[in-house]
Structure 1
């Protein structure tokens, strides 16, 4: 048998080993530069994939003297801690509900044949920030169809499933395994490392028989393998460190999808707990309203239809009233989150001032499947808040320009992300 064919077969098996480690995309190279000179900045990214009713969300006036809209009035006490933005969207990200997986990626043409998603804002930031926390990011969900929907996507456009179990997340963050369990996990990490070592040996032998272009492609692949090795080393280091302590008990999961607001509140609390304990500095939370059936609006009162059907209200007064009620309750949950973060002190600052909270949606108007003029609210992060930044509604500014602003606040120096024009939004 031809020696070259044998090596190629072994090489392809090696590729399969590499591709079998998708979760390692959330781990960053141990050689990344980490600066402890500045107070840590954090980010919580929230999206309801059916959005909100636009009219009661957006204020009429602009600048700092704007009048709070009915929805924003629920956040009155934090007026100077948030900014509402209008006239933002992702260019060429159209197609109604198909855009939900592009909210943090800005990947164009989600309905086109052969579409492939791109890296999401959270994963991009984690790559650049390096291994500063046990979990580079945490990706959470409420009522989420985790096989098909996520806010988090790898650089190769692979979906990272959201965690929708508060109990499982709590155990992952705080419960330390016994010595045997830790050793078993370390063994698995070592085993993966040895597989990669074998893979590198095989590919070095295989490289000799390749042309220049193929050698270049292989070198790129080997670079990726080395990065995975470094990520494995980072994982080993974290596995031997004690997890943070908490006086809270593991929460009970809320499994009934009808308890929509209770589940939303619980996952917000878990995200806040993760940030407070510095288990991670980046949290995403997709609220999958599309997958939410008729839900409990108030004790003893269910909605008349599932969330999706309500969103296609067709100006029905009954449906719009229920949607307004649901939107207002979500504003109340945001106010609770702001309050808790403002009461938590880290160093000399409120945790709210060290945490950017983005609340928004891929849907500008779910009733018409419109994906422009997205509802965007940014709170915390020590920005000069208290204003309505309004851009052209007929020629939207890229939402990715705001993402650039947020990346810079995290200390990530980049001129591009998604569809950004290289000009962050200043405020």
Structure 2
């Protein structure tokens, strides 16, 4: 008998399962709504970098292929027709403390933050969407980070606010996964961790059966996809052998402490790129439809030796308007561009995975001088055809310029209909 392959059966092996990218031979998705139409589901991603950007170079004007951008956005130049640049939005509650933690903990919720060391914010937009779609994928929400949480208190606000943008409830920041291997396992592994066999090795027999029942073009797509998974596996294995935290730099010629545990790449560029690849794989395989990737903390202590900039931590560098600061800004935008290009290279019928996604890139301040009166926001992807891209939108002089108004509009794209969210009960015009 021929085996019937569907999104629900996946590829399976001992202790693991792995969903597949869209294929013309298998036009079915995991939930009934998409199964009936054969259309790909909509994904939501948030990418965040703290400390803002160079004050002279974060801008865009015009539309479509003729859109002009400042130097910070140069890495996104080839994606202009698939992005929306938004200027002028803000969170009123974030202006009260005027420090990093008080401007970051409510970035995705607009909620009032408790001070005095108490932890209270609001459920973030990514988790609202994840909770709405919780039964449709293996992992309802993947929350990734590239810098450890900071549990201290700064000027009467917990620094956990600077460390978390995703909140599962007003009192619960969603745990960050810093280890690429563990994030990878969460997407593809079932049960206890296996030390001696890769995910691909475990499901190769299932994959072989599948190849016999799909078209030639889908076979090529399957081979390319499996190769990309193997590449991520191998890079995780290599990176995990090189040290603990990429932001840590030994102050002595030799160590005066025990060696940190394996698991997190020492190289910040490799750490971020691995997390970007895992985000893409999560969306391509339909293992998750919601992913938040926090590239660093606000008030970050990362250094950028990979850029030849190792004399100052990120936070202090953000208070300069130097060429090095611009170079760091562009490094973060390169991660966003990398995710968008990989999603755009993945075809799902007539659209790409990027077309079937809505990726928001943001920071909790426009510049390192703590300017949160107009937040940097970029949207990438067409939200399954629900969003017109290739535009610049300026709300600075508009009566409604609340971030939560944007969130209400975005929630509508995911069929999450709310009367109000955070501090807004009004949708944002033109989104």
Question: Please, what TM-score do these two structures have when normalized by structure 2?
Answer: 0.68
Give the match for residue 360 of structure 1.
Answer: 362
Map 1:62-73 to 2 at 5 A.
66-73=67-74
CA displacement 1:261-311 (0-9 Å, x = unmatched) = 33222211111111111111000011224333332143xx23320111111
User: Which whole-Å CA distance do the structure 1 matches of 2:141 and 2:349 have between them?
Assistant: 23
Please, which moves more after superposition, 347-356 or 61-70? 61-70
Q: 1:177 to 1:139 in 2, by over 3 A?
A: same
The alpha carbon displacement at 1:390 in A equals: 0.7
Query: Which of the two has higher C-alpha Rg?
Result: 1
Q: Report whether the alignment pairs 1:424 with 2:413.
A: no
Give the match for residue 276 of structure 2.
Answer: 268
Q: Could you tell me whether the CA contact under 8 Å between 1:291 and 1:308 is conserved in 2?
A: yes
Q: Could you tell me whether the CA contact under 8 Å between 2:105 and 2:113 is conserved in 1?
A: no
Please, which moves more after superposition, 274-283 or 327-336? 327-336
Q: Report whether the alignment pairs 1:35 with 2:33.
A: yes
Map 1:269-418 to 2 at 5 A.
269-289=277-297, 290-298=299-307, 301-313=308-320, 315=321, 320-366=322-368, 368-380=369-381, 381=383, 382=385, 383-392=387-396, 397-418=401-422
Q: Could you tell me whether the CA contact under 8 Å between 1:145 and 1:288 is conserved in 2?
A: no
* Bigger share in helix: 1
Give the match for residue 253 of structure 2.
Answer: none
Q: 1:425 to 1:176 in 2, by over 3 A?
A: same
User: Which whole-Å CA distance do the structure 2 matches of 1:110 and 1:322 have between them?
Assistant: 35
Q: 1:153 to 1:109 in 2, by over 3 A?
A: closer
Q: Could you tell me whether the CA contact under 8 Å between 1:63 and 1:389 is conserved in 2?
A: no
DSSP-derived class of the 1:304 partner: coil
CA displacement 1:368-387 (0-9 Å, x = unmatched) = 22212111100002421111
Give the match for residue 47 of structure 1.
Answer: 48
User: Which whole-Å CA distance do the structure 2 matches of 1:77 and 1:416 have between them?
Assistant: 36
Give the match for residue 151 of structure 1.
Answer: 165
Equivalent pairs counted in the alignment come to 323
Question: Please, what TM-score do these two structures have when normalized by structure 1?
Answer: 0.69
DSSP-derived class of the 1:45 partner: strand
Q: Could you tell me whether the CA contact under 8 Å between 1:34 and 1:132 is conserved in 2?
A: no
User: Which whole-Å CA distance do the structure 1 matches of 2:277 and 2:192 have between them?
Assistant: 27
CA displacement 1:14-57 (0-9 Å, x = unmatched) = xxxxxxxxxxxxxxxxxxx9733453100110111212223201
The unaligned stretches of length 5 or more in structure 1 are: 1-32, 181-243
Give the match for residue 89 of structure 1.
Answer: 90
